[in-house]
Amino acid sequence: MPCVVTRRSPVTLHHCHGGSLLDEYPHLSGSGWGCKASDWLVIPLDAELHVGNHGIDYGVGVRTWEAKWGRQTDFLRQVIEHVGYDVFELAEKGLKK
């Protein structure tokens, strides 16, 4: 799957956290420094939009990034359409281990 923003490849996988994920699914969003959300909650991003100067991680931060590029939860829904299974549901099941 190409980058959900630019539609370019190659991509890096971003573990969604904070921002819209925190707003909509607070129990699924990683909390604290170095914590990440479920491995199911990933979106493909161009490296610059992931960890570069315009990146959600190590760049501009989640809220600023989402204001410019879009909500992580909306991009996760695109991933769901592409892969054909509900990543939110799978992340929920992972919490119930």
Q: For 3, which DSSP code? A: -
pLDDT, position 97: 46
Place of tokens 């809220």: 63
Q: Report if residue 65 sits inside a domain.
A: yes
Contact between residue 36 and residue 12 where contact means Cβ atoms under 8 Å apart? no
Residue 34: both structure tokens together:
């170095």
Q: Give the pLDDT band of residue 37 (cuts 50, 70, 90).
A: confident
pLDDT digits 0-9 by tens, 81-96:
999 999 999 998 886 6
pLDDT at 16 over 70: yes
Q: Which helix (H) or strand (E) holds 65?
A: helix 62-69
Structural domain containing residue 79: 12-95
Q: Report if residue 53 sits inside a domain.
A: yes
Q: For 66, which DSSP code? A: H
pLDDT digits 0-9 by tens, 42-71:
999 999 999 999 999 988 999 999 999 999
What mean pLDDT, rounded, does the chain reach? 91
In the chain, how many domains are there? 1
Q: For 36, which DSSP code? A: -
pLDDT, position 35: 59
